[in-house]
C-alpha cells in the first residue's frame, strides 16, 4: 500500500505540474495573441495608407503609393507581400515578392470590412494577411461608376515564430526546474508535517500492554487532535473493560470457591472412614445445596453472556402480566413462609404486554427472589400492576432496605450485594438484578430501581401494553 508521504508528494507534484502547465499555456497563447495583434495592427495601418493613395479616373484606377517609403512592398528584396485588384478580377498591383502569383486562402470580405487571416504565398509559405475592400475615390468633379478595390498586405511571421519557439523552450525549462524545486520542497514540508505521526506511532508502541497510559497531545497538529482524543477514549474504555473483566473473574472465583469448598469438605469427611448407607445418603443429600448454588451461578452467567453477545432469540407474543407474576411467585413462596413475610397483592384482572414469556418470567423471578431474600425478617413484600401513559407497569417492593439511594446503580452490576450481612452465608451471589436489567433492556422495556436506607426497596418494570403495540 502506498504511504501517505508518497501519495501527498505525488498528488502535490501533479497538481503543481498541472497548474504550471495551464499557466504556461495561458502565457504562451497570450504572448502569441499579443504579437499577432501587433502585426495585424501594423499591417492594417500600412494597408489603409496604401488605400488612401488609390484614385479612380473614369473607368481606370491610379495608384500613388509608389511615392511612399514602403520598400518591403515595392522591391524584390522586401519581406512583405501586397496585392490589389478590382472586383472583376483585374490585378492592379502585385509586389515583386509574389513573383507574378497571388496570395491564396483569403477570406471573402465586404466593403469597409477589415479581415485578419492566415494565407499562403504562391510557393506555399504561410503568411499573416490583412484584407480590406474599399471604393476608389474619384478625382474632384470627376464622375463614373463606383470602382471597388480589394487590397491585401501580408508578411511572414518569422520573428513571431522565433520568439514563440524561444518562449516555449524557456517555459519548458522553467517548468522542469520549478517541478524539481517544488518536489524537493514538498518532500521536506510533507516529511516535517507528518513527523507527528511518527511520534504518535512511537507513543502507541510504547504503550505495549499498559492500557492505563494515554497518548500525550503535545504539539499535535489540529487535524490529528480528534484522532488522539478518540485513541485516548478507546484506551480508557479498554482499561475500564479490562478492569471489569478482572473484577468479574475475581468475583466468579470468589462465588464458586465457597460452594466448591463445601462440596470438597463434605466428600472428604464422607470418605474419611467407612459409613452406613444412610450416612452416605445424608451426605449426598447435603451436597445438593452447594451444587444447586453453583448451577444457579453458571446458568445466570450463561444468560448474561448470551444477552451480551445477542445470542438469545426473542420470541415476542401477547403475555398476561398478571398470570406471569402469579406463576413466578410459586418458587419463592417457601422463602416467604420461612422468613415470616407478609405479602400484599394489587393485580388487575388482566394486563397484557407483548414480550417473550420465558425471558420475562426469568427477570420477574429474579426480582421476586431478591425481594423475598433481602426483606427484613417479618417484613413485607408488595406486588402491584398498573398502567401509566399507555404502558403496563409491574412494581415489586420489599421492606427493610439496606441500600442507600446513591448505591442503587451498583446493584445492577454483576456480583453486587446490598445486604452485606448475608454475604458470608453464600446464599446470594448478586446476579439477580443485573440479569433482570439485561433481560428487560433486551425486551425493549425499562427497569427503575429505587431505595431508601432502612425503608423500602422497589423495582419497577415498564412495558408497552399490547394495545399500544398493535396501534403502532
pLDDT > 70? residue 333: yes
d(CA 329, CA 415): 23
Tens digit of each residue's pLDDT (9 = 90 or more) over 223-232: 778 888 888 8
Other CB atoms within a 10 A radius of the CB of residue 349 amount to: 6
d(CA 181, CA 187): 10
pLDDT > 80? residue 405: yes
C-alpha cell at 372: 423475598
| pLDDT band per the 50, 70, 90 thresholds, residue 428 | very low
- Mean pLDDT over 139-161 rounds to 81
User: Cell 477589415 appears where?
Assistant: 114
What pLDDT score does 84 carry?
92
Q: What is residue 83's three-state secondary structure?
A: strand
What pLDDT score does 430 carry?
56
The angle that helices 225-271 and 195-207 make with each other, rounded to 10 degrees, is 10
Lowest mean pLDDT among 232-246, 261-275, 339-353: 232-246
Name the pTM for this structure. Answer: 0.48
What pLDDT score does 264 carry?
86
In this structure, the dihedral spanned by the alpha carbons of residues 326, 332, 337 and 339, taken in order and rounded to 10 degrees, is: -130
Q: What is residue 129's three-state secondary structure?
A: strand
Q: What percentage of the chain exceeds 90 in pLDDT?
A: 28
What pLDDT score does 166 carry?
93
Lowest mean pLDDT among 86-100, 141-155, 423-437: 423-437
d(CA 72, CA 81): 8
- Classify strands 60-62 and 80-86 as parallel, antiparallel or unpaired: unpaired
Q: What is the 8-class DSSP label of residue 102? A: -
d(CA 285, CA 288): 5
| pLDDT band per the 50, 70, 90 thresholds, residue 305 | low
- Mean pLDDT over 9-19 rounds to 86
| pLDDT band per the 50, 70, 90 thresholds, residue 413 | low
d(CA 388, CA 259): 43
The angle that helices 288-309 and 432-442 make with each other, rounded to 10 degrees, is 30
Mean pLDDT of the chain: 83
Which residue has better confidence, 350 or 250?
350
pLDDT > 60? residue 421: no
Which residue has better confidence, 11 or 472?
11
What pLDDT score does 426 carry?
38
Element containing residue 60 per DSSP (H, E): strand 60-62
What pLDDT score does 470 carry?
45
pLDDT > 60? residue 323: yes
pLDDT > 50? residue 183: yes
Tens digit of each residue's pLDDT (9 = 90 or more) over 93-125: 999 999 888 898 888 777 677 889 999 999 899
The beta strands (E) that lie in 100-222 are given as: 114-120, 126-135, 137-138, 148-155
Closest CA to 114 of 63, 152, 68: 152
**In this structure, what are the phi and psi dihedrals at residue 455, rounded to the nearest 5 degrees?**
-115, -130
User: Cell 504556461 appears where?
Assistant: 24
Task: Name, in order, each residue with C-beta under 8 angstroms of 25's C-beta and a sequence gap of 6 or more.
Answer: none
Question: Could you tell me if 191 and 5 are in contact, meaning their C-beta atoms sit under 8 angstroms apart?
Answer: yes
Which residues pair with residue 116 across a beta bridge?
Answer: 130
Tens digit of each residue's pLDDT (9 = 90 or more) over 19-61: 989 999 999 999 999 999 999 999 999 998 988 888 887 778 8
| pLDDT band per the 50, 70, 90 thresholds, residue 304 | low
Which residue has better confidence, 214 or 172?
172
What pLDDT score does 420 carry?
41
pLDDT > 60? residue 460: yes
Q: What is residue 26's three-state secondary structure?
A: helix
pLDDT > 90? residue 16: no
pLDDT > 90? residue 88: no
Closest CA to 120 of 83, 168, 162: 83
Amino acid at each position: 500500500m502506498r504511504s501517505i508521504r508518497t501519495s501527498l508528494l505525488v498528488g502535490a507534484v501533479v497538481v503543481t505540474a498541472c497548474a504550471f502547465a495551464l499557466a504556461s499555456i495561458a502565457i504562451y497563447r497570450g504572448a502569441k495573441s499579443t504579437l499577432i495583434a501587433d502585426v495585424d495592427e501594423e499591417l492594417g495601418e500600412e494597408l489603409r495608407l496604401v488605400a488612401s493613395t488609390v484614385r479612380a479616373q473614369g473607368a481606370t484606377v491610379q495608384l500613388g503609393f509608389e511615392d511612399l517609403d514602403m520598400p518591403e512592398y515595392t522591391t524584390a528584396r522586401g519581406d512583405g507581400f501586397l496585392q490589389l485588384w478590382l472586383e472583376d478580377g483585374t490585378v492592379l498591383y502585385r509586389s515583386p515578392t509574389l513573383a507574378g502569383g497571388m496570395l491564396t486562402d483569403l477570406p471573402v470580405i465586404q466593403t469597409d470590412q477589415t479581415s485578419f487571416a492566415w494565407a499562403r504565398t504562391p510557393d506555399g509559405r504561410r503568411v499573416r494577411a490583412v484584407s480590406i475592400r474599399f471604393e476608389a475615390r474619384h478625382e474632384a468633379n470627376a464622375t463614373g461608376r463606383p470602382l471597388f478595390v480589394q487590397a491585401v498586405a501580408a508578411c511572414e511571421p518569422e520573428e513571431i515564430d522565433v520568439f514563440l519557439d524561444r518562449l516555449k523552450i524557456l517555459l519548458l525549462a522553467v517548468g522542469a526546474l520549478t517541478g524539481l524545486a517544488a518536489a524537493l520542497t514538498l518532500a521536506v514540508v510533507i516529511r516535517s508535517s507528518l513527523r507527528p505521526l511518527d511520534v504518535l506511532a512511537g507513543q502507541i508502541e510504547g504503550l505495549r500492554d499498559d492500557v492505563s497510559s494515554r497518548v500525550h497531545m503535545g504539539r499535535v497538529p489540529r487535524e490529528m487532535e480528534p484522532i488522539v482524543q478518540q485513541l485516548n477514549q478507546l484506551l480508557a474504555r479498554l482499561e475500564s473493560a479490562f478492569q471489569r473483566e478482572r473484577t468479574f473473574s475475581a468475583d466468579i472465583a470468589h462465588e464458586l470457591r465457597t460452594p466448591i469448598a463445601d462440596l470438597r469438605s463434605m466428600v472428604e469427611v464422607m470418605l474419611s472412614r467407612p459409613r452406613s448407607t444412610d450416612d452416605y445418603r445424608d451426605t449426598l443429600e447435603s451436597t445438593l445445596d452447594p451444587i444447586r448454588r453453583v448451577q444457579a451461578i453458571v446458568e445466570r452467567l450463561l444468560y448474561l453472556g448470551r444477552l451480551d453477545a445477542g445470542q438469545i432469540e426473542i420470541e415476542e407474543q401477547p403475555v398476561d402480566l398478571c398470570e406471569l407474576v402469579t406463576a413466578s411467585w410459586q418458587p419463592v413462596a417457601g422463602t416467604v413462609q420461612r422468613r415470616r413475610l407478609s405479602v400484599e397483592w394489587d393485580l388487575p384482572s388482566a394486563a397484557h404486554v407483548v414480550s417473550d414469556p420465558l425471558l420475562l418470567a426469568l427477570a420477574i423471578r429474579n426480582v421476586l427472589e431478591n425481594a423475598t431474600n433481602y426483606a427484613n425478617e417479618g417484613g413485607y413484600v408488595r406486588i402491584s400492576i398498573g398502567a401509566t401513559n399507555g404502558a403496563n407497569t409491574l412494581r415489586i417492593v420489599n421492606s427493610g432496605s439496606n441500600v442507600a439511594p446513591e448505591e442503587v446503580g451498583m446493584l445492577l452490576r454483576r456480583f453486587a450485594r446490598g445486604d452485606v450481612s448475608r454475604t458470608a452465608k453464600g446464599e446470594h451471589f448478586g446476579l439477580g438484578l443485573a440479569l433482570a436489567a439485561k433481560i428487560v433492556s433486551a425486551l425493549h422495556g425499562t427497569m427503575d430501581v429505587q431505595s431508601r436506607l432502612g425503608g423500602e426497596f422497589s423495582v419497577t418494570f415498564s412495558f408497552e401494553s399490547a394495545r399500544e403495540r398493535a396501534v403502532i
